[in-house]
A and B are shown apart, each in its own frame.
Chain A
Amino acid sequence: MKDEPRVGVFVCHCGTNIGGVVDVPEVVEYAKTLPYVVYADRNLYTCSEEGLNNIRDTIKEYNLNRVVVASCTPRTHEPLFRVACQEGGLNPYLFEMANIREHCSWVHHDSKEATEKAKDIVRMAVARSLWLEPQEEPELEIKDSSLVIGGGISGLVAAISLADQGFKVYLVEKEAELGGLVRQLYKLYPTLEDTSEILNPHIEEAKNHRNIEVHTSTTIKDIEGYVGNFHVTAIKNKEQIEFDVGTIIVATGAWNYHPPEGNFQYGVLDGVMTQLELEELLKEGKLERPEIIVMIQCVGSRVGEIWSYELVGLFHSQATRLLSKILGARGSEEGWAYCSKICCMNAIKNAILIKEQFPESEVTILYQDLRTYKEYEDFYRRARKLEVRFLKYIYEIPPEISEAPGNKLRVSFYDPFAGEEMSIICDKVALSTPLIPSKDGILLAKKLKIPLDQNGFLMEAHVKLRPIDTQIEGIFLAGTAAGPKDISESIVSAKAAAARASILMGNKVIKTEALTAVVNQDLCIGCGLCEELCPYGAHIVKDGKSTVIEALCKGCGVCVVACPQKAISAKHYTDDQILAAVKNAFTEQLT
């Protein structure tokens, strides 16, 4: 306590909400007995204009340097009272609330018990208030430029959308050409237009946009800084380029899974290929005559146990495990637990393309469950009209592929509806494999400290409420980097990411959290435990000392409890402040 505290306590009747149960005058009298309390009174409604004026005036009249309001929950009314304090000339963080309504008068019916509890709550609040310190909410400038990582359809759309709003965009693509995975596709469902019809105009627009700087054959080497002020170092054709941006959109996309060699005879028998490889044949016009084709769904996806939707931080071992799984995709039989969402539609699309080109072809789709949601139902019916055959197999008995006479393939499977073993002699087998996390995405996530979900995709800040944001402020997700999406969903997410980024850049400044962690540089030994634990990457250990980047810190205090040297404290939730409440929870006298 630097200055001699002068506490004012305002106890609220809240009509009869509090006053009907708690003996408010008794609480006021009790408050007056507490040390440092120089003023205590009651209001019918402290949140009314009259009540707020009372706070403003009393601060001046009694020269208060702490204000305690005993009324309702701080979750709704704290901001209001803080403003009143500020208007009375008091730093809003020198205000403390005692919740004697939600936590007392509304849940206890015995007037005596409730009054005693209300006194305790007031005492705890006064005790804590003595240790409060003024806090400021620093403002931070946001640079009006953005980095988009990945030049696939999502990256292109996000870049154009931001550039159209007047923001400078650096579009970085590791390949020599823009377009990403979509470039390998032939036609798009459900419209069956050529991929190039969608992709090429976007590529041209991005290349020629005056606000977009396209860097192909470029990889990200390092990103430093925080929201509004990221410093990016990239390697372009072995040369280093650097620039500063305010926001980042991660559109690193996904990879297509390849079964390990020998699995479903992939890589062993000619004619067994992935669905994507079949589509490339269609694109290049290499399917020259009617053929019998069998497509097998859910190859490498929906395998094994689905982990509960638990959020995990990016622990080093997990990232390493995921990386080896991805890189070993050609060698491991592990597969992926989730449904890749696009494979059903993709298979139906290719089936339709084949049947429309060569109506005499025979196309069979072997599925476990068929998922053609929303308007795609039409597309499914169109395939049925074209006499594409849909047959079910069960997960426990996966189809087997073997050689058949005459350079053909035999697909044997168990049809649960017919209740018997079936086999089809065919020319080609297409394996519908899932989109899987990309190596680049995982490495980048590590660099940017974005958590990964259990499957290795970059994780959104909240699965429902903040699906585009990441845990790191100023960094947003577009497209399949965050999980399997089709083109239209990717475009939606890319535009959303651009909108989210433009809100930040449009405002030019943001107010950052006042309640952050602070490191005492004299005590810090640079052990790095805080850096390891921080979910926001707010702790940076440099030259043997940790510092908090205030713009990133959200003030949870996890690092404070962990710090072996007790070098970290949490503003507004210091040990002194918390312990003051603890020590005064059960004593009659303020200690």
Chain B
Amino acid sequence: MSVGYEPKILGFLCNWCSYAGADLAGVSRFEYPPNARVIRVMCSGRVDPVHILEGFKSGADGVLVTGCHPGDCHYVSGNFSTERRVEIMKKVVNKIGIDPERIRLEWVSASEGRKYAELVKEYTDSIRKLGPFPLNEISDLLDAAIGAFGSERVRWLMNKQLEEIEPEKAENVIITSIEREIERYQLFQILEKGNSTVSEMAKQTNLPSDVIVQHLIALMKQGTAAITAEAEHEYIYTLSR
């Protein structure tokens, strides 16, 4: 690790428990490393996966989301929504090259000043071990993920109670669907920059060409993409708006 590397931590703190817990750490003068920049939200349930990913894009090496303990949420069940979203997110980001430890959800109550101080210390150390966020390496993928997590399909999947499906099955369906959505956004980004062919897209994304073709068919069905020309036995795809 580079000498003197100081990790940058972005924290989302719910107003009622965790922010108050952080206040108590202050009142109690519990010292902790100055690496975290925190944002107060009313409920951890207000933290959008997009906010977390934007945090990485803005330079964070780790994002810490804290809320009230289960059962203590000021808004009854907001933290359950957060927990579900973060759990799914961690599994998805792992597949695009972001260590899931870079996203951490913890419960900190208004009385847990010491816990907050220790959490920031421990999390800073843990991110220090992981090193800087590989922003340059995965910046395109990160953008695709930001697009995907803001998309209609992913927001549905992350928030709808799928009672009819067994929980493990449901989770698999959700995670693969989000991965597919990220792939689709990768292609979308390429087409945004200009026309492209399947082989070019395969080169840029490392995705198998049959997967790319499937996505292009879907994008064409949506009316988002179209074949506009043919060159050297390949179709040229264009973004249509």
Interface residues of A (CB under 8 A from B): 73-75, 99, 101-104, 106-110, 113-114, 116-117, 120-121, 124, 308-313, 315-317, 451, 471, 515, 527, 529, 532-533, 535-536, 554-558, 560-566, 570, 573, 575, 578-579, 581-587
Distance in angstroms from A224 CB to nearest chain B CB is 22
The answer to the question of B42 belonging to the interface, with a C-beta cut-off of 8 Å to chain A, is yes
Residue among B23, B59, B60, B153 with most chain A CB within 10 A: B23
In the complex, are the beta carbons of B150 and A585 less than 8 A apart? Answer: no
In the assembled complex, the Cα of A540 lies from the Cα of B23 at a distance in Å of 37
Are B48 and A103 in contact, with the CB atoms below 8 A?
A: no
List chain A residues, Cβ under 8 A from B155: 561-564, 566
The CA-CA distance from A313 to B75 in the complex, in Å, is: 11
Asked if B134 lies at the interface with its beta carbon under 8 angstroms from chain A, I say no
B34 touches A110 (CB 8 A): yes
How far is it, in angstroms, between the C-alpha of A139 and the C-alpha of B156 when the chains are bound? 34
B42 touches A106 (CB 8 A): no
B128 at interface by CB-CB < 8 Å: no
Verify A309–B71 contact, CB threshold 8 A: yes
**B78: Cβ under 8 A from any A Cβ:** yes
A104 partner residues in chain B, CB cutoff 8 A: 34
Least CB distance from A98 to B in Å reads 11
| Chain B residues, CB < 8 A from A532 | 160-161
Closest B residue by C-beta to A108: B34
Q: Please give the distance in Å from B52's CB to the nearest CB on chain A.
A: 9
B32 contacts the other chain (CB 8 A): yes
- Minimum C-beta distance from A580 to chain B (A): 10
**Interface pick from B14-22, B96-104, B217-225:** B14-22
Whole-angstrom distance between the Cβ of B35 and the nearest chain A Cβ: 9
Chain B contacts for A101, CB-based, 8 A: 26
Interchain nearest-CB distance for B211 vs A (Å): 24
B76 touches A102 (CB 8 A): no
Whether B59 lies near A558 (C-beta < 8 A) is: no
Q: Would A451 and B34 be within 8 Å (CB), given that A102-B22, A102-B26 are in contact?
A: no
Query: Within the assembled complex, what's the spacing in Å between the Cα atoms of A585 and B152?
Result: 28
User: CA separation between A582 and B56, bound complex, in Å?
Assistant: 9
Do the beta carbons of B26 and A585 come within 8 Å of each other?
A: no
A557 touches B29 (CB 8 A): no
Enumerate chain B residues within 8 angstroms of A109, measured Cβ to Cβ: 31
Residue pair B29, A107 in contact (C-beta under 8 Å): yes
Q: Which 3 A-B pairs have the closest CB atoms?
A: A102-B26, A557-B46, A586-B59
CB pair B42 A575 closer than 8 Å:
no
Smallest distance from the beta carbon of B158 to chain A beta carbons, Å?
Answer: 8
Q: Which residues of A contact B77 (CB under 8 A)?
A: 311-313, 535, 558
For window 130-180 of B, CB contacts with A under 8 Å fall at 150, 152-153, 155-156, 158-161, 163
CB of B117 closer than 8 Å to a CB of A: yes
Task: Answer yes or no: B198 CB below 8 A from chain A CBs.
Answer: no
Q: What distance in Å separates the Cβ of B196 from its nearest Cβ neighbour in chain A?
A: 28
Asked if residues B42 and A557 are in contact (CB atoms below 8 Å), the reply is yes
What is the CA–CA distance of A565 and B159 in the complex, to the nearest angstrom? Answer: 13
Min C-beta distance of A395 to chain B, whole Å = 27
Decide if A107 touches B45 in the complex (CB within 8 Å): no
B38 near A103 with CB under 8 A, answer: yes
Query: Which residues of chain B are within 8 angstroms of A313 by Cβ–Cβ distance?
Result: 76-77, 80
User: Which residue in chain B gives the minimum CB-CB distance to A128?
Assistant: B39
Q: Is the CB of B117 within 8 A of A107?
A: yes
Answer yes or no: B27 CB below 8 A from chain A CBs.
yes
Chain A residues closer than 8 Å to B75, beta-carbon distance: 535, 554, 556, 558
* B10 CB–A CB distance under 8 Å: yes
Indicate if B95 sits at the interface (CB-CB under 8 A): no
Known pairs A124-B39, A533-B81; A587 contacts B59 (CB<8 A): yes
- Which of these, A309, A315, A579, contacts B163 with CB under 8 Å? A315
Is residue B236 contacting chain A, with contact meaning CB distance below 8 A? no
Q: Which of the residues A106, A554, A561 comes within 8 Å of B48, measured between beta carbons?
A: A561
Pick from B60, B78, B156, B161: contact of A586, CB under 8 Å: B60
**Smallest distance from the beta carbon of B137 to chain A beta carbons, Å?**
18
Bound complex: CA of A581 vs CA of B37, how far in Å? Answer: 9
Residues 27-63 of B at the A interface (beta carbon under 8 Å): 27, 29-34, 37-43, 45-51, 54-55, 58-60
- Rounded to whole angstroms, the CA-CA distance of A117 and B37 in the bound complex is 8
| A558–B82 CA distance with the chains assembled, in angstroms | 8
Is the beta-carbon distance between B161 and A102 smaller than 8 angstroms?
no
- Distance from A496 Cβ to chain B, minimum over Cβ atoms (Å): 21
Give, as a whole number of angstroms, the nearest-CB distance from A574 to chain B. Answer: 10
B8 at the interface (CB under 8 A from A): yes
Could you tell me if A315 and B161 are in contact, using CB atoms closer than 8 angstroms? yes
Among the listed A114, A317, A555, which residue makes an inter-chain contact with B34, where contact means beta carbons less than 8 Å apart?
A114
Q: In the assembled complex, how far is the CB of residue B105 from the closest CB belonging to chain A, in whole angstroms?
A: 14
New contact pairs (7) apart from A75-B15, A102-B22, A582-B39, CB-CB < 8 Å: A102-B26, A107-B29, A108-B31, A311-B73, A536-B76, A562-B158, A565-B152
Q: Which of B23, B74, B153 contacts A102 (CB 8 A)?
A: B23
Known: A311-B76, A560-B46, A561-B47. A583 touches B54 (CB 8 A): yes
Contacts of B19 on A, CB cut-off 8 Å? Answer: 73, 75
Given contacts A561-B85, A579-B51, are A570 and B46 in contact (CB under 8 A)? yes
Min distance, Cβ B134 to any Cβ of chain A, angstroms? 16
- Chosen A-B contacts, 21 in total, with CB atoms closer than 8 Å, are A75-B19, A102-B27, A108-B33, A114-B34, A120-B37, A311-B73, A529-B156, A529-B160, A532-B161, A533-B159, A535-B76, A557-B78, A558-B75, A564-B155, A566-B155, A570-B42, A575-B48, A575-B50, A578-B48, A583-B54, A585-B60
Is the pair B34, A113 in contact by a Cβ cutoff of 8 Å?
A: yes
A108 to chain B, nearest CB (A): 5
* Residue on A nearest B74 in the bound complex, by CB: A556
The residue of chain A having its C-beta at the shortest distance from the C-beta of B26 within the complex is A102
Alpha-carbon gap, A113 to B32, bound state (A): 12
Is residue B208 within 8 Å, beta carbon to beta carbon, of the partner chain? no
The reply to whether B31 and A107 form a contact with Cβ atoms under 8 Å apart is yes
Given known A533-B159, A581-B39, A582-B58, contact A561–B81 (CB-CB < 8 A): yes
- Report the minimum CB–CB distance from B112 to chain A (whole Å): 14
